[in-house]
Amino acid sequence: MRRAYLHFTRFPVQRKVIECPELTGRPFVLVEESRGQRRVAAASTSALKAGVRPGTTLTAATALDPELRHFPYRPEEEARALVALGEALLCLGPGFQLSAPDGLWLDAGAAHLSGGEEGLCSRALALCSELGYRAHVAVASEAFTSRALARYGARRVEVIPLGESARALAPLPLAALEGREGASFSSLGLTTLGE
């Protein structure tokens, strides 16, 4: 089965800007309670440029940028927004599946109705854009391949032909493994999946 994976970089930040357009270009963070402290869960581009990073305490973040605005991070709202986005994409495929916190799978089995897999990707990105979201999308036969390429690939759209997954994955960083395996391989001096 062919699957498309849509990755929304810093989805909570994108959603907050859609909700509050006045935040466009402004430094802000979404904050969650962690170990008795309020810590940054997600940061806008302006906040990142000021040096704020996820995991930073709110106190340290506001020291980096005194004009920094902060809002509570609510994972359940993010999940609801992803579901709504998936439902909007059902006009392109027969089903979707969440990949919280910042992505979703779309069944690419009906891609022929969109002019093929490239057409499906174009239509999906256009629909996301109409709703205010920016995404990267990859289509492949293997779930890992489509997810890794959408999240870590260099291109906004990737369509991987059957049998070409290894070639497509080779230049990706070990971070695409998203687990402890990456650290193990890194300790051996490896830097990409192809090594």
Tens digits of residue pLDDT in 27-49: 999 999 978 899 999 999 999 99
Give 83-124 pLDDT, tens digit per residue.
999 999 999 999 999 998 899 999 998 999 899 999 999 999
pLDDT beyond 80 at 141: yes
Token digits for 53? 């990073």
pLDDT, residue 189, reads 82
DSSP bridge pairs for 32: 39
pLDDT, residue 180, reads 63
Give the percent of the chain with pLDDT over 70.
99
User: What integer is the mean pLDDT of 169-194?
Assistant: 83
pLDDT, residue 179, reads 73
Mean pLDDT, the chain, whole residue set: 93
User: What integer is the mean pLDDT of 58-79?
Assistant: 96
Q: Hey, which CATH number is domain 3-8+76-161, 3.50.50.60, 3.30.230.10, 3.30.70.270, 3.30.70.1280?
A: 3.30.70.270
Distance CA(193)–CA(35), nearest Å, equals: 34
Distance CA(44)–CA(10), nearest Å, equals: 8
pLDDT, residue 34, reads 79
Q: Where are the domains of the chain?
A: 3-8+76-161, 12-73, 164-195
Let me know: does 70 contact 58? Beta carbons within 8 Å.
Answer: yes
Treating both helix axes as pointing N-terminal to C-terminal, what angle do 75-88 and 11-19 enclose, rounded to 10 degrees?
80
DSSP bridge pairs for 137: 6, 157
pLDDT beyond 80 at 181: no
pLDDT, residue 96, reads 95
Distance CA(71)–CA(32), nearest Å, equals: 9
pTM for this prediction: 0.90
Distance CA(46)–CA(29), nearest Å, equals: 10
The fold for domain 12-73 equals MutS, DNA mismatch repair protein, domain I (3.40.1170)
Rounded to the nearest 5 percent, the helix, strand and coil shares of the chain are 45, 20, 35
